[in-house]
Amino acid sequence: MANTETSLKEAASIDGAIGAALVDYTSGMALGTIGGGKELDLNVAAAANTDVVRAKVRAMEMLGLDDEIEDILITLGKHYHLIRLLKGRGTNGLFLYLALDKGRANLAMARHQLKKIENELEV
């Protein structure tokens, strides 16, 4: 099992990674971040993407969908923003956020690696 710091380092090593964060979507707070810099303020991204997660959860409730969100993908001109809701013990209300450079990333591999990181993460 990996802790937050180790998991974020693994996420940052994914090809094309710009930055990553572990976020509590009940509060909008980043519990840990890595990368980002001038190109991307991860604390702002954590808070803003909390609204995205809450909106999707509400939409699913309103639609009566009996299913779970695995991940949410936002595709921009130069970036992919990947939000993976965590489902393990003690991770309720948390998501992993990964920003990728679209020109350097392999989206399918990034999703696969983020799932692996989720499975190994212990909060």
pLDDT means over runs of 10, the chain (123 residues): 90 97 93 91 94 94 93 96 86 91 96 94 84
Report in angstroms the alpha-carbon separations of 95 from 28, 67, 77, 103.
Answer: 10, 17, 23, 24
Q: What is the pLDDT of residue 38?
A: 85
Q: What is the pLDDT of residue 87?
A: 85
pTM given for the model? 0.93
CB–CB of 4/22 below 8 Å? yes
Q: What is the pLDDT of residue 89?
A: 64
Q: What is the pLDDT of residue 76?
A: 96
